[in-house]
Structure 1
Amino acid sequence: MIRRMSFPQRKGISSRQAHADLPGEGRYEREVSREGFFGPATHIHHKHAPTGWTRWEGDLKPRAYNLLALPIAPTSPWQAPLMLSNAHCKIRIWRCEQSMSSLVRNADGDDLLFIHKGCGELFCDYGHLHVKEGDYLLIPRSCLWRFEIIEPMTVLMIEATNEYYGLPDKGLVGQHAIFDPAILDSPEINETFIQQQDENPWQVEVKRSGGCSIIEYPYNPLDAVGWHGEVSVVRLNWRDIRPLMSHRYHLPPSAHTTFLTRRFVVCTFVPRPMESDPGALKVPFYHSNDDFDEIIFYHAGTFFSRDHIEPGMLTFHPCGFTHGPHPKAYKTGLKAAKKETDEVAVMIDTRDGMNIADGMPSVEWQGYVNSWQET
Structure 2
Amino acid sequence: MAFYHKLGSIPKKKHTTFYKPDGTLYREELVSSKGFSGVYSNKYHLNMPTKATKITELPKLADEVWHDAELRHFHFLTDTLRKEGDFFSSRVSYLENNHCKMYAAKPTTNPDYFFKNVYAHEYVFIHRGSGVLLSDYGSLPFVEGDQIIIPQATIYQMHFDSFDDNKIVVIESDTPYEIPKHYRNEYGQLEEHAPYEERDFKMPQFMEPKGDLGDFRILMKAGNRIFEYMQPHHPFDIGGWDGYLYPFAFNIKDYNPKVGRIHLPPPIHLLYHTKHFVLCNFNPRPFDWHEDAIPAPYYHSNVDSAEVLYYVEGDFMSRKGVGPGSVTLHPLGIPHGPQPGKTEASVGAKFTHEYALMLDTFEPLFPTTNVQQTEDPAYPYSWLE
Task: Classify the TM-score, shorter chain.
Answer: 0.7 to 0.9
The secondary structure found in structure 1 opposite 2:243 is coil
Q: 5 Å matches for 1:218-367?
A: 218-246=232-260, 248-334=261-347, 336=348, 338-367=349-378
Alpha-carbon distance in 1 for matches of 2:138, 2:224: 27
**Residue 194 in 1 paired to residue 208 in 2?**
yes
| Residue type of the alignment partner of 2:306 | D
Find the aligned partners of 1:197 and 1:100 in 2 and give their Cα distance: 20
Residue 268 of structure 1 deviates from its aligned partner by 0.6
Q: Report the counterpart of residue 119 of structure 2 in structure 1.
A: 108
Displacement, 1:67? 0.3
Tell me how far 1:109 sits from its aligned partner: 1.5
**Residue in structure 1 matched with residue 65 of structure 2 by the alignment:** none
CA distance in structure 1 between the aligned counterparts of 2:199 and 2:177, rounded to whole angstroms: 17
Match in the other structure for 2:58: none
User: What displacement does 1:79 show?
Assistant: 5.6
Mapped contact 1:264–1:350 kept (Cα < 8 A) = yes
Aligned to 1:34: none
Count of residues in Structure 1 that have an aligned counterpart in Structure 2: 310
Is contact 2:220-2:228 (8 Å) kept? yes
Which one-letter code corresponds to 1:126 in the other structure? Y
Unaligned runs of 5+ in 1: 1-57
Greater alpha carbon shift after TM alignment, 248-257 vs 272-281: 272-281
Q: Using the alignment, how far apart are the partners of 1:197 and 1:261 within structure 2?
A: 37
Secondary structure of 1:111's aligned partner = strand
Q: Unpaired segments of 5 or more residues in structure 2?
A: 1-68
Aligned to 2:15: none
Per-residue deviation, 1:197: 6.4
1:217 lines up with 2:228 in the alignment: no
Query: What residue number does 1:45 align with?
Result: none
**Partner deviation per Cα, 1:284-304 (whole Å, 9 max, x = no partner):** 111111110011101111111
The answer to whether structure 1 residue 144 and structure 2 residue 155 are counterparts is yes
Distance in 2, Cα, partners of 1:236 & 1:172? 17
Q: Is the Cα contact below 8 Å between 1:115 and 1:132 reproduced in 2?
A: yes
Q: In the alignment, which residue of structure 1 is the partner of 2:176?
A: 164
How far residue 154 of structure 1 moved from its aligned partner, in angstroms, is: 1.0
CA contact (8 A) 2:121 2:150 kept: yes
CA apart distance, 1:196: 7.0
Deviates more, 1:128-137 or 1:66-75: 66-75
Change (3 A) 1:117 1:79: closer
The 5 A counterparts of 1:50-89 are 59-75=70-86, 77=88, 80-89=91-100
The alignment's C-alpha RMSD in Å is: 1.9
**Aligned partner of 2:191: which letter?**
Q
State whether residues 90 and 106 of structure 2, in contact with CA within 8 Å, keep that contact through their aligned partners in structure 1. no
- In structure 2, relative to structure 1, the CA distance for the partners of 1:194 and 1:367 (3 Å cut) is same
Q: Using a 3 Å threshold, how does the CA distance of structure 1 residues 250 and 101 change in structure 2: closer, same or farther?
A: same
Q: What secondary structure does 1:372 align onto?
A: coil
State the match for 2:129 in structure 1: 118
**Structure 1 CA distance for aligned equivalents of residues 323 and 140 of structure 2:** 30
Note closer, same or farther for the CA distance 1:265–1:197 as it changes in structure 2 (3 Å cut).
farther
8 A Cα contact 1:169 1:175, kept in partner:
no
Partner Cα separation in structure 1 for residue 350 and residue 123 of structure 2: 32
SS in 1 for 2:253: helix
Task: Give the secondary structure class of the aligned counterpart of 2:122.
Answer: strand
> 3-state SS of the aligned residue for 2:341?
helix
Structure 1 residue 223: Cα displacement = 1.8
Query: Which residue number in structure 1 is paired with residue 32 of structure 2?
Result: none
Equivalent-residue separation in structure 2 for 1:168 and 1:151 (angstroms): 35
CA contact 1:78–1:207 (8 Å) conserved in 2: no
| TM-score, structure 1 as length reference | 0.79
Deviation per CA, 1:206-265: give whole Å up to 9, x if none: 00021100111233211212211010101000111111111x111100011101001100
Q: How far is the alpha carbon of 1:70 from its aligned partner?
A: 1.4
Residue 271 and residue 197 in structure 1: after superposition, are their counterparts in 2 closer, same or farther (change >3 A)?
farther
